[in-house]
Amino acid sequence: MDNKNLKNKLKKMPIGKAENRRIKIFLTVSGLIFFVVILRLFQIQVVLGNSLRQESYSMRRDESEIIAERGSILDTNGIELAVDASVYSLWIDPSYLRQNLYNKEIVKEEAADLIGKAIDLQTDFVLRKIELNSGFVWLKKEVSFDEVERIKNLEITGLYFQEEGSRYYPDHAVGGNLIGFVNKTGVGVTGLEASYNDILQGQNGLLKGEKDGQNNYIADTLKTIKQALPGNTIVLTLDQKAQYIAEREIANIKRDLNPVSASIMVMETKTGAIVASANTNNYDSNEYRNLDINLYRTLEYQDMYEPGSTMKVITAAAAINEGVVNENSIFYDNTGTRKVGTNTIKCWVYPSYHGKQTLTQAVANSCNPALVDVSLLLKKKNPDLWFDYLKEFGFGSKTEIGFTGEAKGILPAGNGDIYHATSAIGQGIAVTPIQMISAVSAVVNDGQKMKPYLIKEIKDSDGNIIKSFEPTIENQVVSKDTSEAVQRILKAVVDSGTGKKFKLNNNIESMGKTGTAQKVNSLGKYSVNKYVLSYVGIAPYSNPKYTVFVIIDEPNKGGQSSSTVAPYYKAVMEDILALYSVSDSVGSNIGYNKIIMPDFTGFSIEEAEKLGQNLGIKLEINGNGFIVNQSIVKNKLIDKDMKVIITAKEIKLNDNQTIIPALTGLRLPDALKIAENASVKLSFTGTGIIIEQSLSPGAIVLKESKLDVKLGD
């Protein structure tokens, strides 16, 4: 080997060793890394595997409440006043939505515009939501069914609906203040919704499962841990049609008199059942979000007032029952005043006076001096008698009707003569409307005080009756003889006293008592120009069926006399009696032997026969089915018992179809019954008889179609 080759070989040897060293280092480092990875995998898979799996599961696992369906509130005939309804809320996954917009070949600005137009939101608002880096963003709560369909038609990926329960009030403002409302969390806030929340709300269930990255449950993992139990349904004594009538007159009072407040109650005299209960605080329970908190109070049960002269009914009953007076006892009012200690009580006719009068005349005239004398006769017999009677009649304590926040009233502050005298004429004592209507009803119900009640039945979700409420006698406050004597006195109030303007039409005899109470001002003194006007009436006289109580607090228009109440009371009582066919007050009766011919078009034969019988018209019916023609034209003045030939024709209807009846010329109660039989929803304005209707008689429409009618004189 020459020197040259040897030198080259020697030069190459260190280089090979360097490469070998580098390889060894690389392999050593790689081995260490591989060992660390293997060690880490061992740690993750074996040492920490179980805890990591648990952590992963806990991240996917979710628990949700299954919201129980809330029980319904129904009127006495089963008409829904408050029900649970499903609504949908819209949410988006912004990241997922943006990723999939290319499939629609649109940009996010266009998508925001389309979505905004579909659900009535500003484009800028929707765009801000789309641009968020989130997997879940609410876009709109409680979207309508039309909005749901419009969103679905867009076919944009990343938009999702969630079904939620919501409370719905089909009749909107009918009974709104009494029924109350439920908040977003499903809890009753006011009215019966609050008072009976525990009965209505049911028990929520529990759902467990795992969710995917889109926050949706994985179907195979879902498990119901606890079933939701629906709430119970409450059936009221309230009649929707009677409530319509009461609220119609409340609206008229607001329009005509502009009072601070007003209330109307209708009670079955002999049972204590509340048939209607309305006041000026009424509202649409569906629109509670912007509600003035001052409207929450249900005046008939939660507010107190000085009753004024309606209390004289109780004074007379107590005194007659104790034998200190009778209906013919003589009293003298020669000055229009009565001195009690250092106090002077004036009569409403002062400086005039009533002179000599019997107790019947004194109550009919609402004479303060005479009733003060009566109260002092009671006190003379026994200083505690009057206060015992007040308590027996229910004053000073809650009726326990079941209404949250019910007031108990305030009894007189002392036992001196002045406290007896003033409370006997309705001053210096505070009562609630429910107490007063119950007490007066007791006087004319053979002296039996019935427990007032609003709830007729409680049913479970399957419709089975869990509990029913029947008329309950609380006590015998006065004797039957006393009751009959006071009934004669209250009839005299209407026939010849302060209640003459409250006489009912159609020759219906009734009883009643007026009330005019001065309001206390901010200085604690009685105001000279602010009054609470009221009237409590009972009809018919021969067999009391209904007690109607109207209270108007401080009317700003229309006068300060209790007679101001008359047209509203009469409208309610007459329509209530007609609604329940207590009297022959159907249709437009002219005198005793004349009647305006109604239009029978669209009536079934059964309905035509019933109306004809009520009106005193003899019908000769040809054919079957629905009325299409009549021998005497509508609105013609005819004699009662006149024969009218009507022609009926078979009309084939689908299961969801009905025929519009002719309602012109009828009173509202009769129209409501006929509309209900025809499966038509009646909406009305005005008072009197029906003079117009929006759909022609005989027209074939879908059931539950809306029929607007206008009432007038």
Tokens of 425: 């004429």
Q: How far is CA 47 from CA 34, 43, 54, 55, in A?
A: 18, 5, 13, 14
Name the helix (H) or strand (E) containing 168. strand 159-168
For 619, residues 6+ apart whose C-beta sits below 8 A from its C-beta are 608, 609, 612, 643, 644, 645, 646
> 174: pLDDT confidence band, cut at 50, 70 and 90?
confident
CA-angle at 227, arms to 224 and 231, nearest 5° = 150
pLDDT at position 49 over 70: no
Could you read off the pLDDT of 300-336 as tens digits, one per residue?
Answer: 999 999 999 999 999 999 999 999 999 999 999 999 9
Give whichever of 162-176, 375-389, 597-611 has the largest mean pLDDT. 375-389
Place of tokens 């591989």: 34
Q: What is the residue-averaged pLDDT of the chain?
A: 86
506 vs 693, higher pLDDT: 693
Q: For position 589, what pLDDT does the model report?
A: 38
pLDDT at position 307: 95
pLDDT at 227: 80
What pLDDT score was predicted for residue 335? 94
Instruction: Provide, rounded to the nearest whole percent, the portion of the chain with pLDDT above 70.
Output: 88
State the Cα–Cα distance between residues 54 and 665, nearest whole angstrom: 77
**Where are the extended beta strands (E) located within 58-145?**
61-66, 73-74, 80-92, 137-143
**Pair type for strands 355-358 and 274-279:** unpaired
Burial (0-12, 13-18, 19+ Cβ within 10 Å), 337: middle
Confidence of residue 559 (pLDDT cuts 50, 70, 90): confident
Q: Concatenate the DSSP letters of all residues of 437-487 into one string.
A: HHHHHHHHTTTEEEPPB-EEEEE-TTS-EEEE----EEEE-S-HHHHHHHH
What pLDDT, on a 0 to 100 scale, did the predictor assign at position 63? 66
Please give the CATH superfamily to which domain 65-182+196-236 belongs: Penicillin-binding protein 2a (Domain 2) (3.90.1310.10)
Instruction: Tell me what pLDDT residue 68 has.
Output: 82
Q: Quote the CA–CA distance of 290 and 5 in Å, as a whole number.
A: 104
Q: Which three-class secondary structure state does DSSP give residue 547?
A: strand
Q: Considering the chain, what percentage of its residues have pLDDT values greater than 90? A: 47
pLDDT tens for residues 64-73?
677 788 999 9
- Of 177-181, 227-231, 269-273, 479-483, where does mean pLDDT reach its minimum? 227-231
pLDDT greater at residue 23 or residue 323: 323
The strand pairing partners of 620, in sequence order, are: 645
Residues in the chain, total: 713
Residue 231: HSE in the Cβ half-sphere, 13 Å Cα cutoff: 25
pLDDT tens digits for range 444-498: 999 999 999 999 999 998 999 999 999 999 999 999 999 999 999 999 999 999 9
Higher confidence at residue 31 or residue 345?
Answer: 345
The pLDDT, as a whole number, for residue 148 is: 83
Q: Is 682 exposed, middle or buried (0-12, 13-18, 19+ CB in 10 A)?
A: buried
Q: What is the pLDDT of residue 611?
A: 77
For residue 312, give both structure tokens: 């004289």
395 or 22: which carries more pLDDT confidence?
Answer: 395
pLDDT tens readout for residues 356-370: 999 999 999 999 999
Between 682 and 637, the higher pLDDT residue: 682
Average pLDDT over residues 390-413: 94
Q: 424-448, pLDDT tens digit by residue?
A: 999 999 999 999 999 999 999 999 9
Q: Which residues contact 153 (CB under 8 A, 6 or more apart)?
A: 118
pLDDT reported for residue 53: 60
Average pLDDT over residues 417-424: 95
Residue 385 CA to residue 374 CA, distance in Å, equals 12
Domain 248-282+301-579: CATH architecture, name and number where available: 3-Layer(aba) Sandwich (3.40)
> What does the pLDDT look like over 74-104, one tens digit per residue?
999 898 999 887 677 888 888 888 888 877 7
Distance CA 615, CA 598 (A): 9
- What number is the average pLDDT over the span 160-180? 83
Beta-carbon contacts of residue 159 (< 8 Å; ≥ 6 apart): 90, 91, 92, 97, 115, 139, 151
Which residues, 6 or more positions from 125, have their beta carbon under 8 angstroms from its beta carbon? Answer: 116
Question: For residue 605, what pLDDT band results from cuts at 50, 70 and 90?
Answer: confident
Q: Mean pLDDT lowest for which of 170-174, 579-583, 598-602, 642-646?
A: 579-583
